């Protein structure tokens, strides 16, 4: 969508400071929405919001750890106060690790579940009632291919993203008839700082070069190339439009199949 398709709508994007979240925030702003970006690191969200404002968009930045119910409640209150309401929520904040089962510590397991799954639950819960009252809302959860498939060494992340997918499906049914939709995007590996971390981990563990590690990652995933963040953002935007009102409970899979 280009132009003011979302003019008058206010979108909150968690994890909007970099990677997919920043790309989604910019895509929503370019479609006319007012955008609030939130993350733990205030510097990055402040920079993204400033860049959006420089391009003529209305944008706010908030610090929020999505695993903390108090911070999530404050985010919902502050963002609602700033723009009068929240119409769109993109639950994008997420993190990943990889480890074989015997090496996964309990804190690691809990952290992965907490950021990806509990964060999605808390943020959705914080905005759902006001969306329902206005009989309009779009909630898009950034899950992963790991939300629908399994792979070795990512059992915690896979469990967390399956939870996100399950939550999306259940809420799509629960919200039927309210005007609020719940959908998920499920990308394979995307070219973001998170994937850079994964590649660095492979390099450390195997002694391979960056290019060799990237090739091994792509081969393991069956992907010809990394997906670009703006491609994921385009799918998120598509699910946020007025025209997407009858789409709920959908999983949009992006697997980088088409080569450049």
Using CB under 6 A as the criterion, which residues of the chain lie in contact with ligand NDP when the complex forms?
A: 14-15, 17-21, 39-41, 44, 64-67, 92-96, 115-116, 142, 144, 187, 189-190, 192-195
> What sign for the dihedral angle of Cα 42, 192, 105, 209?
negative
Q: How far is the CB of 233 from ligand NDP (least distance, A)?
A: 10
Instruction: Tally Cβ neighbours within 10 Å of residue 14.
Output: 29
Is the Cβ of residue 134 or residue 159 nearer to ligand NDP in the bound state?
159
Mapping DSSP to helix (H, G, I), strand (E, B) and coil, where does residue 127 land? helix
Radius of gyration in angstroms for the set of CA atoms belonging to the chain, rounded to a whole number: 18
Q: How far is the CB of 160 from ligand NDP (least distance, A)?
A: 8
Active site residue 157: yes
Spatial CA neighbour of 251 closest among 237, 235, 240: 235
Instruction: Tally Cβ neighbours within 10 Å of residue 61.
Output: 23
Give me the residue label for tokens 């009102």: 245
- Phi first, then psi, for residue 136 (nearest 5°) are -155, 130
- Phi first, then psi, for residue 160 (nearest 5°) are -65, -45
Q: How far is the CB of 34 from ligand NDP (least distance, A)?
A: 19
Q: How far is the CB of 22 from ligand NDP (least distance, A)?
A: 7
Bridge partners of residue 181, in order along the sequence: 138
**Which residues are known catalytic residues?**
157
């Amino acid at each position: 969508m280009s132009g003011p398709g979302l003019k008058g709508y206010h979108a909150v994007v968690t994890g909007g400071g970099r990677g997919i979240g920043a790309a989604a925030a910019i895509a929503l702003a370019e479609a006319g929405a007012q955008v609030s970006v939130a993350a733990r690191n205030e510097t990055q969200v402040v920079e993204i919001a400033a860049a959006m404002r420089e391009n003529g968009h209305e944008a706010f930045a908030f610090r929020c750890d999505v695993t903390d119910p108090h911070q999530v409640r404050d985010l919902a209150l502050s963002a609602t106060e700033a723009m009068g309401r929240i119409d769109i929520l993109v639950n994008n904040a997420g993190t990943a690790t990889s480890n074989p089962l015997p090496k996964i510590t309990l804190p690691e397991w809990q952290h992965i579940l907490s950021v990806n799954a509990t964060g999605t639950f808390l943020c959705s819960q914080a905005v759902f009632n006001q969306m329902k009252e206005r009989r309009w809302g779009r909630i898009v959860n950034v899950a992963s291919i790991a939300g629908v498939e399994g792979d070795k060494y990512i059992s915690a992340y896979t469990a967390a993203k399956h939870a996100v997918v399950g939550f999306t499906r259940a809420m799509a049914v629960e919200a039927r008839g309210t005007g609020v939709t719940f959908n998920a995007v499920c990308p394979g590996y995307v070219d973001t700082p998170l994937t850079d971390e994964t590649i660095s981990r492979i390099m450390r563990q195997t002694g391979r070069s960056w290019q060799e590690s990237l090739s091994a990652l792509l081969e393991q995933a069956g992907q010809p190339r990394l997906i670009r963040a703006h491609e994921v953002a385009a799918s998120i935007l598509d699910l946020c439009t007025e025209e997407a009102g009858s789409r709920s409970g959908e999983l949009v899979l992006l697997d980088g199949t088409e080569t450049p």
